[in-house]
Amino acid sequence: MENTYTYTARSAVNAEEVITFTLYNNSLSIGLGVPLEHVERAIAAGADEGEEPESAGEEPKEKTDAKEKKAPVKSWLKPMAISAIERTTHPFNVNDVSASATGGGLSVIAWVRSGGLRLAPVVFKLSPVDNPDAAKSFVEELERRKKAAPSKATFPGPLDYWASWVAAGFTALIFLVVWLRKQYKQRASA
């Protein structure tokens, strides 16, 4: 792909915490490397849990059955974890992303859109990162691309969020109920 910029953010405290941000054209892809590794470790720990050291003889039938029961769990849990991670981190439009690199850390907020409106934020934070200068460069590149990208906003400002429309609808409903009660009282007193 042309016009690609990739930044891999790694925690300075825990080197296993890694997030890869890839800017291409007007999009941002986010790759989570470690959560899947944590899932694999949890699966391995679950498989090892409760096992006793093997004796020189054959394994008891109960132990063999327990191992066989744990294997199917591993076979369906890993694909579910991969699927959940991939759904959460689909490409975002750069205009739906804000980032800051302050205090040696990195914070990225990307908005998931539904029906053309912002529905929910996906937040990524690493503090501190192992290379704060690279984090600042990533934020600067994101801001540069945001300025050059056409806006994807359906409505301006606060009307670009589902929460604003829900709040407006709820407020309108309250006013409608109050007005109907007032009309009912006027008709009842007449």
Mean pLDDT in residue range 125-146 = 94
Residues 45-62: pLDDT tens digits?
Answer: 655 555 444 444 555 555
Residues 26-36: pLDDT tens digits?
Answer: 999 988 765 55
pTM, whole model, 2 decimals? 0.62
Residue 63 banded pLDDT, cuts 50, 70, 90: low
Looking at domain 4-154, does it have CATH number 3.40.50?
no
Amino acid making up residue 71: A
What does residue 37 show for φ and ψ, rounded to 5 degrees? -65, -40
Domain ranges of the chain: 4-154, 159-189
Predicted confidence at residue 112, as pLDDT, reads: 84
